[in-house]
Chain A
Amino acid sequence: MPRILHPRDAIVRVTRSCICGSDIHLYNGLIPDTRVGSTFGHEFTGVVEEVGPEVENLKLGDAVIVPFNIACGQCQFCKQGLYGNCHESNAQATAVGGIFGYSHTAGGYDGGQAEYVRVPYADFGPMLIPEEMDLDDAVLLTDVVPTGYQAAEMAGIQLGDTVLIFGAGPIGIMAARCAWLFGAGRVIVIDWIHYRLEFVRSYGPAEAYDYRQIDDMAVFIKKITDGLGADVCIDAVGADASGNALHTLFGKMIPIEAGSAIALHWAINSVKKGGIVSIVGVYGPTGNMIPIGNVVNKGLTIRANQAAVKRLLPRLIEHVQAGQIDPKALITHRVPLDDIADAYHIFAAKLDNCIKPVLLPNRR
């Protein structure tokens, strides 16, 4: 049972938690300083069980959405809305702010794939779950929906733009949905897992292609656009990308690179000159082989970050309530916490048509 360690802490009893593509990078050992005995899980909703003396806006029994970022709300970066980059929540690294259950490189906090969690800065991060909202929708507002939305937002989509998204996992699927909200003219998604391509075709909606049937990504994209490439590209794959033997060898088998960066490589080479590449796929902190010379020569803009969940929640709750976004449609598996090992395997190996697994508290 976690304890209050800071006056702005709360203890939350978890009601739903998820396994995320980011957890797969941890699971596969790609994120440094992942210590044995730490609890994973950064996507969870819960009920407030205990609050520290400085937490005045929450009371016991409140049902809350807990953003995956741990953010103080008052440092320079939080004031700028960069809640993924709080300067007061991660002792081990300055680059990223604290994240629940995401190694000591993200602060060393225990996460939500558990029964109870210590939630720091509880007076700032958590948001009350609107009364009529389904818990399954709420838990996807802790990460998947804001991350997909921010991917589209950072891409600076202008009306009519062709948006090319790598990855048809929960994040890529949500980015496809949100690209339309920003006024995309065309949305194209690349993956290789057919049930996911099928899903995003109707959920996005989107044109969806299997990269294994494509000889050369850049040539293909130029062929299906006007010859100049996509206006913007989104990397929603990250460090566990497949599709290139060299990156698999150097990024995953003998990790000289910080994960395989082939999706990012394709994004850079498939976007038009002067275009924008928006990265939400997660990579380790060392370095990756990407065609940086082309970024220069093509005059690209790269925007990237961990999603600043809290910043986007009010708008996204509206979207969910208005039916513009249907988060829980992504949930394919509902698994008791005790069976977490199997849930990890199913999600990581993409078995049983899995898109998003949700962990339920153990039956008591």
Chain B
Amino acid sequence: MSSSKLKTGHQIDASAVLGWGVDSDSENDPTYPLRDSPADPSKRLDWVRPTRQVPNVEILRSIEYNQLPAVVGTSVPPSGLSGVIRRSAFRRSESDWVHWLMLLGADRVNMVEGVVQDLGQGRIPNILAERGIRSAWQHERQKVVTKAVVVAGLSVLAIALLSRRAKSRRRT
């Protein structure tokens, strides 16, 4: 490195910066992750597997695996219509665009299922609070007010249009 390279056209003097160069390493090329590639390619599949977890719920498995990984997450097993979509998504590989689009679709369906389930249990979800309305009111009140006014305005307009259409339909 030429010292001029450290000084051209900028304000921060590198050598004065705290910790400058303490991890510099001219051998760091190739760097992580290539640096630590295994020396012996025949060892690729040769590891002692951890104890296998026996899942107590349905686990969807990527078809790119030839066996279930030793440890699995069990937080939310697939269920309902979204579960049906997810199961069929998992018939396709991670390389298949449709696999992911189906999962994204299932996520949206799952949101509706969540609200319906809440309502079914007599709980009215407070979506505004869940989206942080309190902090919005505190830090960006104007935006909240503008949004509310726009939404209110649009709803009034929609109601007016609908009732006019209903009226004119009754007249004919």
Contacts and interface: CB of A to CB of B under 8 A. Distances in A.
Contacts of A70: 71
Given A156-B29, A286-B97, A105 B135 contact: no
Interface string B17-59: 1111111111011111100111000011111111101001001
Interface string A31-59: 01111111100000000000000100000
A138 B6 CA distance: 33
Contacts of A75: 47, 49
Nearest to A53: B51
A222 to B, nearest CB: 13
Contacts of A226: 8
A156 B69 contact: no
A105 B31 contact: no
Interface stretch (B109-117, B145-153, B155-163): B109-117
Contact of B130 (A91, A187, A284, A341): A341
Contacts of A207: 10-12
A284 B111 CA distance: 19
Interface centre among A70, A88, A157, A322 (most CB of B within 10 A): A88
A287 B101 CA distance: 11
Given A36-B113, A156-B29, A72 B10 contact: no
A110 B1 contact: no
Interface stretch (A2-10, A128-136, A166-174, A288-296): A2-10
A327 to B, nearest CB: 14
A342 B76 contact: no
A153 B94 contact: no
Given A303-B31, A346-B139, A185 B5 contact: yes
B17 A104 contact: no
Interface stretch (A60-68, A176-184, A261-269): A176-184
Given A8-B50, A87-B69, A180-B18, A39 B97 contact: no
The size bracket of the interface on A is: 35 or more
B12 A206 contact: yes
B5 A160 contact: yes
Given A81-B32, A81-B33, A104-B60, A185 B129 contact: no
A359 interface: no
Interface SS of B by simple majority: loop
B100 to A, nearest CB: 5
A275 interface: no
Contacts of B135: 342-343, 345-346, 351-352
A74 B47 CA distance: 6
B26 A33 contact: no
A287 B59 CA distance: 26
Contact of A88 (B9, B36, B69, B97): B69
Nearest to B56: A5
B14 interface: yes
A211 interface: no
B65 A38 contact: no
Interface string A102-119: 001101111000000000
B33 A82 contact: yes
A83 B76 CA distance: 24
Interface string A321-341: 011110000000000000001
Contact of A182 (B21, B71, B113): B21
Contacts of A22: none
Most buried by B among A38, A94, A95: A94
A34 B23 contact: no
Given A6-B53, A8-B51, A154-B32, 18 more contacts: A6-B71, A29-B104, A35-B76, A54-B51, A81-B33, A88-B49, A89-B71, A91-B68, A91-B73, A105-B103, A108-B73, A121-B71, A182-B21, A183-B24, A205-B17, A226-B8, A319-B19, A351-B140
19 contacts: A32-B107, A33-B86, A36-B114, A70-B71, A76-B46, A76-B47, A80-B33, A80-B38, A87-B69, A91-B69, A98-B73, A104-B60, A107-B73, A108-B74, A160-B14, A183-B14, A311-B32, A324-B18, A351-B135
Q: Which 3 A-B pairs have CB atoms at the shortest separation, nearest pair first?
A: A345-B132, A108-B73, A183-B24
Interface of B: 1-2, 5-6, 8-12, 14, 17-26, 28-33, 36-38, 43-51, 53, 56, 59-62, 64-65, 68-76, 78, 82, 86, 90, 94, 97, 100-101, 103-104, 106-108, 110-111, 113-114, 129-136, 138-140
